[in-house]
Amino acid sequence: MFIVILALIGFAGYYVYKNYNYIGWKSSKLQYEKLNFKYPNNWHMVTTSSSSNDMITLTAPDGFQIYISDVTIGHPNSNGPMPVVYAEPITFLGEKAYIDYYSTGLSVNKSSLIYGGTLSKSTIYVFDLFSTRNIRNGWITINIYNAKGRPFDLNTIKQNGNYKITKLIIQSMHY
């Protein structure tokens, strides 16, 4: 009996530890890809899914945005080079991943302006995307933009709470 009680206490402690950051958050799911995620209660969610693809926009109170979608028509490419200024390590669906913060110039350094971020498998190629599980020949895209699309610098990523929340949203994702 003592072992059962100890196991229950351990399970309860693990559950609280795992979900502590998400207290008061809302839950949602991509309709077609069936990917679940959590997001802050004070963020606004808009779904503009088509007949076979998901597209969700999460907007923070200050205008910071995260776009979550799955694409099936060709592989998403950039219109030109998207050099990675900073690659933030993260876990996505149990796999090693990165949020690649990119610039639009051909050569970059740590002081380059950043125009957005994308979830990627690579630290150097922004569009090394994760395959969808429930949509045939698709990719999961998660893109991040500062409020009103303004470029930002590396210090903003490290100091602005929205970037930490973005990591939590991505790490909350599961099937």
Q: Does any domain span residue 42?
A: yes
Q: Does any domain span residue 4?
A: no
Please count the helices (runs of H) and the strands (runs of E) in the chain: 3, 10
- Selection from 161, 129, 145, 157 nearest residue 58 by Cα: 145
Domain count, the chain: 1
Q: Does any domain span residue 10?
A: no
As a whole number of angstroms, the distance between CA 82 and CA 68 comes to 19
Q: Name the 3-class secondary structure at 45.
A: strand
Please say whether the beta carbons of 105 and 116 come within 8 A.
no
Residue 132: DSSP 8-state: P
Instruction: Give me the phi and psi of 151, to 5 degrees please.
Output: -65, 155
Owning domain of residue 58? 25-171
pLDDT digits (tens, 9 = 90+) for 37-77: 999 999 999 998 888 889 999 999 999 999 999 987 665 55
Q: Does any domain span residue 166?
A: yes
Q: Does any domain span residue 165?
A: yes
As a whole number of angstroms, the distance between CA 162 and CA 148 comes to 14
Q: Does any domain span residue 14?
A: no
Q: Does any domain span residue 56?
A: yes
Per-residue model confidence (pLDDT) at position 75: 55
**Confidence band for 12, pLDDT divided at 50, 70 and 90:** very low
CATH number of the structural domain spanning residue 146: 3.40.1000
pLDDT digits (tens, 9 = 90+) for 95-146: 999 999 988 766 677 778 888 999 999 998 888 899 999 988 888 999 998 8
pLDDT digits (tens, 9 = 90+) for 13-41: 444 445 568 999 999 999 999 999 999 99
Q: Does any domain span residue 121?
A: yes
**Confidence band for 149, pLDDT divided at 50, 70 and 90:** confident
